[in-house]
Amino acid sequence: MTARALRLALLFALLPAAAFASERLAPIPAGRVADHAEHLIETAPPPESAIPHGRLAAGGGLEAWYGAPTDRYGHGVLGDAIEAGDLLVSDGGDTLSHTLAQDSVFEDLEPRIVDADGDGRPEILTIKSYLRAGATIALFAPRDGALLALAEAPPIGTPNRWLNPAGVADYDGDGRPEIALVETPHIGGIIVLYRWDGGARLEPLLRWPGYSTHAIGSTVLAMSHSHDWNGDGVIDLLLPRQNRAVLAVVTLAGGAPRELAHAPHENVIDTALVPIERRDAGPALLYGLSDGSAWLLPLPGGD
């Protein structure tokens, strides 16, 4: 082996370890998932027009949900093979709707009410899947009495490939918000950051492999949490690694992803990551594993 080949071999041998050289955490056992069901299961009743398993989102003076159930996309990774044809948004008065063309569906259960450009006005972040090209994210907003399609990223490019948004925050520390998601969480999940500059196209800023925020067939989508873990003023992402048996804290500050900390488990995470405020003990993240156990991870500092 030449010196150069040896150096390369060493580099590749060291890379995975270097990528995960993070502080090992010990979450606190918190009993059984059933004891915490009210925290771990979202219970807001959806409107009658909502799709099966659909949930109501509320925030920014808006309510949003999915309607017009359809089976025209035969993927079925979110509890059943029924997806949505309509996005509905109410500001307490009128209910506005956006109906997709027959070439796509909302492959999603609960729209996210966000401020994607930081201008103080809410947008609605959705998962839109093209029958022939797979999933992407799409932004909508109520403007002048209509529900407008504002922006969209290019779809993954292959049918039956899905993605799961993780949050909207300033993840790289440049003062502007980004949309974070995990692309193809079932087959090799990749964190992707997108920026919306006000145009019709969402542009990817960076990609970082090794994570998963969804189990095939599950209706749990909120398997991630945004929090400034290390107190550097830049929001970090808490989410499972690809095998879902390790909860990781990832910083994307400066556009240079790395893990800050990780919490290994003997079973896979299969609930939402639910932030809770503990009496006299500060904030923590509550989540459950496939064996029914519940765990608390104390969150440093405030949020």
Does 230 bind Ca ion (CB under 5 A)? Our answer is yes
CA distance readout (Å), 149 to 87, 112, 126, 138, 200: 10, 14, 11, 7, 8
Cβ neighbours of residue 231 closer than 8 Å, sequence gap 6 or more: 300, 301
**Nearest approach, Cβ of residue 23 and Ca ion (Å):** 13
**Nearest approach, Cβ of residue 34 and Ca ion (Å):** 33
Closest CA to 181 of 196, 162, 197: 162
C-alpha to C-alpha distance for 93 and 137, rounded to whole angstroms: 27
Among the listed residues 42, 80, 152, 174, the single contact to Ca ion using CB under 5 A: 174
Does 293 bind Ca ion (CB under 5 A)? Our answer is no
C-alpha to C-alpha distance for 115 and 84, rounded to whole angstroms: 23
- Which of the ranges 74-82, 93-101, 200-208, 221-229 carries the binding residues for Ca ion, by CB under 5 A? 221-229
- Which of the ranges 21-29, 51-59, 227-235, 291-299 carries the binding residues for Ca ion, by CB under 5 A? 227-235
Among the listed residues 91, 103, 119, 197, the single contact to Ca ion using CB under 5 A: 119
Q: Are strands 146-152 and 134-143 parallel, antiparallel or unpaired?
A: antiparallel
The three-point CA angle 234-151-161 to 5° equals 85
**Nearest approach, Cβ of residue 118 and Ca ion (Å):** 7
Helices within the chain (DSSP H only)? 3-19, 37-40
Nearer Cβ to Ca ion, position 42 or 115?
115
| DSSP-assigned beta bridge partners for residue 261 | 23, 249
Two tokens at 264? 């290994």
Among the listed residues 86, 110, 183, 228, the single contact to Ca ion using CB under 5 A: 228
**Nearest approach, Cβ of residue 169 and Ca ion (Å):** 8
Burial of residue 151, with CB atoms counted within 10 A of its CB: 0-12 exposed, 13-18 middle, 19 or more buried:
buried
**Nearest approach, Cβ of residue 287 and Ca ion (Å):** 20
Does 207 bind Ca ion (CB under 5 A)? Our answer is no
Does 236 bind Ca ion (CB under 5 A)? Our answer is yes
Q: Is 211 helix (H, G, I), strand (E, B) or coil?
A: strand
C-alpha to C-alpha distance for 256 and 205, rounded to whole angstroms: 11
Among the listed residues 7, 121, 207, 278, the single contact to Ca ion using CB under 5 A: 121
C-alpha to C-alpha distance for 191 and 53, rounded to whole angstroms: 25
**Nearest approach, Cβ of residue 112 and Ca ion (Å):** 13
CB of 171 closer than 8 Å to CB of 193: yes
Nearer Cβ to Ca ion, position 109 or 235?
235
Does 234 bind Ca ion (CB under 5 A)? Our answer is yes
**Nearest approach, Cβ of residue 261 and Ca ion (Å):** 11
Nearer Cβ to Ca ion, position 236 or 270?
236
**Nearest approach, Cβ of residue 117 and Ca ion (Å):** 5
Nearer Cβ to Ca ion, position 33 or 180?
180
Does 172 bind Ca ion (CB under 5 A)? Our answer is yes
Nearer Cβ to Ca ion, position 71 or 197?
197
Which residues make up the interface to Ca ion (CB under 5 A)?
115, 117, 119, 121, 170, 172, 174, 176, 178, 228, 230, 232, 234, 236
